Amino acid sequence: MLAAQAPALPDVVVAAVARGEEHLLLDGTLIDTDCIRDPGSPRDRWYSGKHRQHGGLV
């Protein structure tokens, strides 16, 4: 039922371009990385709590 209500991928891309979006997260595949921290930041941006490991979303 939810899939039937979801917009088609081409419509999503066109809307994102119209809004000036720089990035789209389409499937959420996590690519493993080493531990990377931003200097001076208390938060580790590359740690995925959901996957319990470091990585970047592609």
In terms of Cα–Cα distance, which of 16, 34, 33 is closest to 25? 16
Residue 34 placed within a domain = yes
Q: How many domains does the chain have?
A: 1
**pTM of the full predicted structure?**
0.42
Give the residue numbers spanning the domain of 56. Answer: 25-58
**Which tens digit of pLDDT belongs to each residue from 4-55?**
888 888 898 899 999 998 877 776 677 777 766 667 777 777 777 777 877 7
**Distance between start and end Cα atoms, the chain:** 26
Q: In this structure, how many other beta carbons lie within 10 angstroms of the beta carbon of residue 47?
A: 15
Residue 11 placed within a domain = no
> What is the predicted pLDDT for the residue at 36?
67
Residue 57 in this model has a pLDDT that exceeds 70: no
